[in-house]
Amino acid sequence: MQQAHRIRNLFSAIARHYDFLNSLLSLRFDRVWRRETVNVSGVTPTSKVLDVCTGTGELALAYADKLEMSGSVIGSDFCFEMLVVGKQKVKRQDRTHAFVPIEADTLTLPFADNTFDIVSVGFGIRNVSDLELGIREMTRVAVPGGRIAILEFTQPVNPIFRGLYYFYFTKILPFIGNCISRNKDDAYGYLPRSVLQFPNCDALKDVMEHSGLTDVQYYRKTLGIVAIHVGKKM
């Protein structure tokens, strides 16, 4: 409970700068990664999608771009301030129809069993205090045969690139992020620490399988900086 409260406060503090810094610090690759997550998740024009830990709704909006009027996207997050920024953004873009933002905790989703064709999360599952419970909740609200798609940072496997990346990730990125966001609680220092503590690709695949998913595949992107995991509900 204390960890969840700390993480909520951390993201509340950086909500206004979140989208800009994501784009800047990822060299705009974050948009590519989200599009690829949508593509490998098996979305169709009529899919019903839930994007948990949606933040400002970037992954939810990437799904919305693939849907017809009969499809739908809900974006849930337990950080109200992030959802406010997302609402303001879609209003400026005249896309208020694109997705429905809902304040909700991923560990206790307020949806019935077997509701969504796809349940996704982008760069948020590592912030959930109980990883397996969070994935089980995502699985619970997916329809049988539905897909769970997880986009998350991981650790590069190439030792030379990994050394260079870790220097950027643990030294340069936190300095730039904290300076621009003017965050005094080292929010952008939390990012690399949380990634380094997060399970690697194979370990996350195991957690997904233990959570009731089958045919779990993962795809490393951009020299292994991130990975996309996709599993199917039995």
Domain segments of the chain: what residues? 2-233
Up-side HSE of residue 46: CA atoms within 13 Å toward CB? 1
Give the separation between CA 196 and CA 189, rounded to whole angstroms.
Answer: 11
pLDDT of residue 2: 55
pTM: 0.94
Residue with tokens 């169709």: 44
- Report helix, strand or coil for 77: strand
The Cβ of residue 15 has, within 10 Å, a number of other Cβ atoms equal to 20
Give the separation between CA 50 and CA 102, rounded to whole angstroms.
Answer: 10
pLDDT of residue 4: 83
pLDDT of residue 222: 95
User: Which tens digit of pLDDT belongs to each residue from 40-84?
Assistant: 999 999 999 999 999 999 999 999 999 999 999 999 999 999 999
| Host H or E run for residue 228 | strand 226-233
Q: Is the dihedral of CA 227, 202, 128, 47 positive or negative?
A: positive
Give the separation between CA 8 and CA 106, rounded to whole angstroms.
Answer: 13
Structure token digits, residue 9: 């406060």
The arrangement of secondary structure in 2-233, i.e. its CATH architecture, is 3-Layer(aba) Sandwich (3.40)
Q: pLDDT tens track of the chain, all 234 residues? A: 557 888 898 899 899 988 988 888 888 999 999 999 999 999 999 999 999 999 999 999 999 999 999 999 999 999 999 999 999 999 999 998 899 999 999 999 999 999 999 999 999 999 999 999 999 999 999 999 999 999 999 999 999 999 999 999 999 999 999 898 888 778 888 888 999 999 999 999 999 999 999 999 999 999 999 999 999 999
List helix spans (H) across the chain: 2-14, 18-25, 29-40, 58-64, 80-92, 131-140, 159-167, 173-181, 187-197, 201-210
Please write down the long-range contacts of 26-31, taking CB distance under 8 Å and 24 or more positions apart: 29/222, 29/225, 30/58, 30/123, 31/58, 31/62
Structure token digits, residue 2: 């204390």
